[in-house]
Structure 1
Amino acid sequence: MPRSRVVVALVAATLALAACTGPAAPTPSPTHAAPTPAAVAVTSGPATITAQPLDRTAVATVTPDDDGSVRLSVSEGETVLTAPAGTTFRALEDGSALVEGAAGAFVAGISTDAPGIRLEQDGPTSVRLTGTAPTGVWVASVAVQGAVWGQAEGGRSLAVTPSAWARAWSQAASVGLWSQLVAQDPDADSPTMRAQLECHQLGAPEKATWNLEPWRPDVSAVDMIAARCNPE
C-alpha cells in the first residue's frame, strides 16, 4: 500500500477512536473530612471531666456558674465524658450520672437538662451523652453548701443549705446531698434524717434552708409527704 494511504488510514483510525471514547474525565480533586472536634475540659471543684464530641460538626460550649458548677452544651451528636484519673463513672436510671472516688465516695454529679437527654454507661470511667441535639448537662461537685445545727420546737434541728444544682432534682443530686451531708456531719446519719432530706428535695426545693430534725419518727414516704416533711 502506498505510504500516503497508510498515513490517511492511521489518522482516520485515531479520529474514530477519539469519537468513541470522548474527552478524558477530569481527575477528581481530593476531599478532606472535617476533623473531630477537640475535647474540652469541664471542671467543677476537684473534678475535671473530659468531654469528647463525636460528631465532626459539633460545637461544645462550657459555661461556669457562680456557685462552682458548670454547664456543658453540645450542638450535635453524641459526646463521651471521661472521669478524672483515679475515679469512675456510674450512670443512673434517670439519665444522670456520678463521678465516684475510692469506695464509691461522691466526687461530682451530672444532671441532664431535658427529659430526652441521657447519660449512659460507656465503660468504667466514661459515660455517653445521647439525645436530640443540642444536648447539655450540668456538672457540680457541691451539693451541700452549708449545714448548721440549731434548736427548734421539739429539739435539735439541722438547717441544710443545698446548692442550686441539688435543688434541681436528679438521682445524682440526691446521692450527692446525702453523701456530702453525712461527710460534713456524721450526726445527721439516720434513716429519718435522710427521708426528711429527700422529702425537702422533692417537695420544697425553693426553701432557703431545709430543716431536718433527728427526733422525728421514721415513717413511710407517703406519710412523710403528707406531713410536709415534718412527721410527728
Structure 2
Amino acid sequence: MGARAVGRDGTARGVLASRAAWAAVAAVVVAGLTAGCGPDGGAPVTPSTPAVSTAPTSTGTPSAAAGPVLPDAGSVRRDGSPLADAARPGHDAGSLLPVDGGDLQVVDQGDGSVAATVQGPPGALAWVAPPPGGRGKVQTDGSLTLHDEAGTVVAALAAPVAADGTRAAWRPSGDVVALDGPTGSASFVVGTVPLEGATWGENEGGRSLAVVPAPWVRDGGLAAQQALASQLSATEPEAASPSMQAQLWCHVLGARDKASWNLEPWRPEVPTTTLLATRCNPTDDDA
C-alpha cells in the first residue's frame, strides 16, 4: 500500500506491522560462542546590593533549544500510533509517538512487516512505549524488542538508519525508548507477527514441529529472531526446550531458504559445532 503520513497527534493511525555455506555459518557461530557534582569552589564573595534585572521572567515553558519534553509511556500509548497489526484486534504491541512537528510514514512491504520513516528536528525524533507492564530491550545489533507483561516479544523494530546511510539509534529513557536521529530522519522495519505456522506431525524418528517463519524474519536482525523464538515458545510451550530452541537457531542461521523448519523434541542437545555439522538434525549417535 502507499505511504501514509501520521502526525504527532496520531490521528491517521496506520498499521506498523515487514544460505551461506555451512562451514561459514559454523565459523560465525563458534566465534560468537567464544567471545551481553558539587558546586565549583572559589574565593569568598562580598555581599552587595543585587542589581535590578530587566530580563523577562521565565514563564516555565521549555524553549526549543532545550529539546522535546520526554513523555511517559502512558502518553505515548494514548497519543501515539499503535504498532500492532490491524488484522489482529485486541493485540497490543506498543505504540510510537513522533515529536511535536514530526512526521511518520509507513509503507507495507508485503512480507508481513512495514517500513517506517520518522522525520523531525535532529535529535530525539520519536518515542516508543511497550504494552502496559512490559519493557523495551535494545539488542546488540541495534534492533529493538518490545515485550509484554509476561515477557513475550510482541514487536520487533530493526536497527534504524538515517537517510544518508548513517546509523540512528534506539535509546532507553525512563519507561519509554527514544529514537535518536542526528540527521533529522530515521527509517526502520517493524514486524509484530513473526510466526506464520507451527504444525505437529511425524518425521524420521518421531514427532516433529514444522515451523513457518514470516518472510521478514528470515533476513531480519536479532529482534526479529528473538520475536520468532519468543512467540513460538508462547504458542507451543514444548518448543521452549533447550534442544528445540537450539534447532530453531540453527535453522535461522543456516536454513533460511527452507519452506519450513522441522524441530524435533526427541533430538539430543549437542555442542553447536555438532549441531551445525549435522545440519540441525543431530541423533543420539552424535551426542
Q: Does 1:80 align with 2:120?
A: no
State the 1:43 CA deviation: 2.7
Distance 2:169 2:281 in 1: 34
State the 1:150 CA deviation: 1.1
Q: Secondary structure at the match of 2:154?
A: strand
RMSD: 2.7
Higher relative contact order (CA 8 A, sep 6+): 2
Residue in structure 2 matched with residue 43 of structure 1 by the alignment: 83
Residue in structure 1 matched with residue 167 of structure 2 by the alignment: 116
Structure 1 pair 129–197 and aligned structure 2 pair: CA distance change class (3 A): farther
Residue in structure 2 matched with residue 144 of structure 1 by the alignment: 195
Deviation string, structure 1 residues 85-110 (Cα, Å, up to 9, x no partner): 51332212211111111132222111
Q: What one-letter code is carried by the residue in structure 2 that aligns with 1:72?
A: A
Q: 1:174-213 to 2 correspondence within 5 Å? A: 174-213=225-264
Structure 1 pair 199–53 and aligned structure 2 pair: CA distance change class (3 A): farther
Distance 2:128 2:150 in 1: 19
Residue in structure 1 matched with residue 139 of structure 2 by the alignment: 92
Q: Which runs of 4+ in 1 moved over 3 A?
A: 65-68, 74-78, 113-118, 129-134
* TM-score computed with the length of structure 1 as normaliser: 0.72
Deviates more, 1:201-210 or 1:108-117: 108-117
In the alignment of these two chains, the number of paired residues is 194
Deviation string, structure 1 residues 133-156 (Cα, Å, up to 9, x no partner): 752111111111110011111111
Q: What one-letter code is carried by the residue in structure 2 that aligns with 1:112?
A: A
Structure 1 pair 123–203 and aligned structure 2 pair: CA distance change class (3 A): farther
Deviation string, structure 1 residues 171-204 (Cα, Å, up to 9, x no partner): 2122211211121112222111000101111111
State the 1:211 CA deviation: 0.9
Identity over aligned residues, as a percent?
A: 37
State the 1:59 CA deviation: 4.9
Distance 1:49 1:65 in 2: 19
Equivalent of 1:70 in 89, 108, 114: 114
Structure 2 residue runs of 5 or longer lacking an equivalent are: 1-63, 69-78, 86-90
Residue in structure 2 matched with residue 23 of structure 1 by the alignment: none
Given that 1:217 and 1:231 are in contact with CA atoms closer than 8 Å, whether structure 2 keeps it comes out as yes
Structure 1 pair 108–119 and aligned structure 2 pair: CA distance change class (3 A): same
Distance 1:136 1:75 in 2: 9
Structure 1 residue runs of 5 or longer lacking an equivalent are: 1-32
Distance 1:164 1:132 in 2: 30
* TM-score computed with the length of structure 2 as normaliser: 0.59
Q: What one-letter code is carried by the residue in structure 2 that aligns with 1:49?
A: S
Equivalent of 1:221 in 272, 275, 279: 272
Q: Secondary structure at the match of 2:158?
A: strand
